[in-house]
Amino acid sequence: MAHRCMIVGCGGISPAWLKPLSAMDDVELIGMVDLDRTVAEGRAAEYAPGAAIYTDLSAALAELSPDVVFDCTVPSAHAKIDVQALEAGCHVMCEKPLADTMEAARCVVAAARSTGRTHAVMQNRRYLPDIRRFRRLIADGSIGRPTMLTADFFIGAHFGGFRAEMDHVLLLDMAIHTFDAARMILDARPVSASCTEWNPHGSWYTHGAAAVALFKMDNGARFSYRGSWCAEGMNTSWESAWRIVGDGGSATWDGGAQIAGEAAGSGDTLIRAGIPIEPPASVELELTGHAGCIRGFLDSLGTGKAPETASHDNIASLAMCLAAVESAETGRTIAIDLEAV
């Protein structure tokens, strides 16, 4: 039986959802909600001509009774919309970030738990074949136990729009992808964060276009992040450039197809030559990016198994962003407490 789905928020990112959703056999797009009716009508005309259009979520939930709600609104609206949809009996998947505060995020996780519905977050960058290959190299034990992970993100992105004037633009709008990737690569949760953030000379943003952050993880590893959204020239990939050090070797990933590794060598020399590690073969994903993440969520429904980006786990990625911001603002190292989640 098809999932009766409704999308809330039909702005810039919504085609990345609507395109794959409209191609899925087990999805019926029954409604579209946006504060701006013409925006919702435009998306419906392109992707789901039969969908009912609403500007009011309560009316849409009451009249359509969807099984699934996809929330593509702005971060400050996520928690309220998602709690309302969960309480109306819907499973919900929302765009990153889960919420704009930890308190709001905890409310969403609690609502999913109390209603017995699934809530998950879009982390499309997990659904790329190369991050899965890199993760496999580490999970295989090829470099031993991870002790240190680094990510470099240097891109000169001239967006304009809301990002030009957003506070903490790099940490709040982009870094969650990289921090979530770090959790995936290390298979670990954050314990503390320290961060410095600034808006470099020449930046075309008004706040926080560059940051350097250090996280302690619960497996003892440290994760360091260096990022700039106003770095011209020598850009990294959007997935960042990575290095991981384990107690039995090291590996690098350029964020694209280039993965290399060396296991620890032996002998009595000062520097021991590493032994090349064959990178894992390509990982076949039937669907990638947004499509893959949505498919994983839909396939989890009714199985009793949480999707990979379930909010009770994904809240740890949000916690890294918000702790980094707090550290940058206070100059202190911030403890990250995920016990109560």
Single out the residue of 13, 283, 285, 301 in contact with ligand NAD (rule: CB under 6 A).
13
Single out the residue of 6, 88, 111, 122 in contact with ligand NAD (rule: CB under 6 A).
122
Segment contacting ligand NAD by CB under 6 A, of 10-18, 132-140, 191-199, 264-272: 10-18
By CB under 6 A, tell whether 167 contacts ligand NAD.
Answer: no
Question: CA 215 → CA 151, 192, 200, distances in Å?
Answer: 12, 6, 22
Measured CA to CA, the distance from residue 133 to residue 185 in angstroms comes to 10
Q: Least Å distance between CB 292 and ligand NAD? A: 12
By CB under 6 A, tell whether 36 contacts ligand NAD.
Answer: yes
Binding to ligand NAD in span 192-211, by CB under 6 A: none
Segment contacting ligand NAD by CB under 6 A, of 30-38, 99-107, 257-265, 307-315: 30-38
By CB under 6 A, tell whether 34 contacts ligand NAD.
Answer: yes
Residue pair 204/164 in contact by the 8 Å Cβ criterion: yes
Residues in contact with ligand NAD, counted by CB under 6 A, come to a total of 22
Measured CA to CA, the distance from residue 159 to residue 167 in angstroms comes to 15
Nearer to ligand NAD, 28 or 34 (CB): 34
**Helices and strands in the chain, H and E counts:** 10, 15
Binding to ligand NAD in span 65-104, by CB under 6 A: 72-75, 77, 81, 95-96
Strands 68-71 and 3-8: parallel
Q: Which two tokens stand for residue 270?
A: 């000062």
DSSP-derived 3-state class of residue 274: coil
What are the E-state strand segments in 42-108?
A: 52-54, 68-71, 91-94
For the CA atoms of the chain, what is the radius of gyration? 21
By CB under 6 A, tell whether 8 contacts ligand NAD.
Answer: yes
Alpha-carbon torsion angle 291, 297, 299, 301, nearest 10 = -150
Segment contacting ligand NAD by CB under 6 A, of 9-17, 213-221, 315-323, 325-333: 9-17
By CB under 6 A, tell whether 137 contacts ligand NAD.
Answer: no
Strands 146-154 and 222-228: parallel
Strands 119-121 and 91-94: parallel
Q: Least Å distance between CB 127 and ligand NAD? A: 11
User: What is the binding site for ligand NAD (CB under 6 A)?
Assistant: 8-13, 33-36, 39, 57, 72-75, 77, 81, 95-96, 122, 124
